[in-house]
Amino acid sequence: MEIYVPGGGDPAAAIAETTHLAVSAHEDDIEFMAYDGILACRGGRGSFTAVILGDGGGSPRAGAYADYTDGEMKRVRREEQLRAAEIGGYGAVVFFDLPSSRIKDPGDAEAVEGLCRLISEAKPEIIYTHNVADKHDTHVAAALRVIEALRRVRYVPRRLYGCEVWRSLDWVNDGDKVRFSVGGEPELEAALLGVFDSQIAGGKKYDTAVIGRRRANATFGESHGVDTDDEVSFAIDMTPLAENGEIAVSDFIDGYIGAFRRDVLGRIERLK
């Protein structure tokens, strides 16, 4: 585990100052899913720490990056993440440098043990991570490791947010989803997303896709009202999973799925 402090400084002090902590599987996931936290800490209103569990070596690549080895891709992706931290004014970036296979292995203790130490030292008010309904295995595994660490150290943040990346949370009923208004700083947004050239030029147009999703969320969130936000990202509140270690994660997310099912079928029954 390596801690980087943009602009220099004591890593331990930077972690201790953390108010908003984001834990992701990969480089660039932070900027996709935890942009609310980056904005919240702008101008000294808090301190944002990004934690990346994966090493970035298994990412798809094309174009100028088609012939890059896994080792070369790891180096490039780390450099991109560090530039994003500087652009976004992060307090710290923590690299676990683990291959996806180890993050997904429930018997591998390194991710959970490292997260236990970080959470105990940071005591963040807000934690952002992947939601457990994501369709990417490594993302779900990362979220499960965060939940396990919180339960082990018995720390309950003010909010634990499960954010959208690989699967929109548009399907969650409006009363159950968390809406983050994330418009207002288009230059910052474009810079943070555009810095990940190895992914964009390498075959994944994340920069336009993420902005498109946020704009779509803002418009399609309410059918009978005008837009009130330029861009919106969604999350679910997973704080109960930290508060009560007896809640099974599968039962927790099944509650959201069941509510969605009842909403769809109930509307059909009313209108048929």
pLDDT > 80? residue 63: no
Q: How confident is the model at residue 78 (pLDDT cuts 50, 70, 90)?
A: very high
For residue 58, the model assigns a pLDDT of 75
For residue 189, the model assigns a pLDDT of 96
Which residue(s) pair with 50 in the sheet? 22, 93
Q: What domains can you pick out in the chain, each with its CATH number?
A: 2-246 (3.40.50.10320)
d(C-alpha 195, C-alpha 174), whole Å:
32
Mean pLDDT of 227-250: 95
d(C-alpha 183, C-alpha 88), whole Å:
15
pLDDT > 90? residue 18: yes
pLDDT > 80? residue 227: no
pLDDT > 90? residue 59: no
For residue 223, the model assigns a pLDDT of 73
Mean pLDDT of 99-114: 97
Q: How confident is the model at residue 238 (pLDDT cuts 50, 70, 90)?
A: very high
At 163-185, the pLDDT tens digits run 999 999 999 999 999 999 999 99
79's enclosing H/E stretch is helix 70-88
Q: For all residues of the chain together, what is the average pLDDT?
A: 94
Q: How confident is the model at residue 66 (pLDDT cuts 50, 70, 90)?
A: confident
CB-based burial of residue 113 (10 Å sphere; 0-12 exposed, 13-18 middle, 19+ buried)?
middle
- Confirm if 20 and 12 have CB atoms less than 8 A apart: no
d(C-alpha 169, C-alpha 234), whole Å:
6
Mean pLDDT of 16-32: 96
pTM for the full model? 0.95
pLDDT > 90? residue 140: yes
For residue 125, the model assigns a pLDDT of 98
pLDDT > 90? residue 222: no
For residue 121, the model assigns a pLDDT of 98
| Closest to 100 measured CA to CA, from 158, 141, 133, 42 | 141
130's enclosing H/E stretch is strand 126-130
Q: How confident is the model at residue 130 (pLDDT cuts 50, 70, 90)?
A: very high
Neighbours of 109 (CB within 10 A): 13
For residue 5, the model assigns a pLDDT of 97
For residue 190, the model assigns a pLDDT of 95
Q: How confident is the model at residue 199 (pLDDT cuts 50, 70, 90)?
A: confident
Task: Name the least confident of 116-125, 138-147, 192-201.
Answer: 192-201
Q: How confident is the model at residue 82 (pLDDT cuts 50, 70, 90)?
A: very high
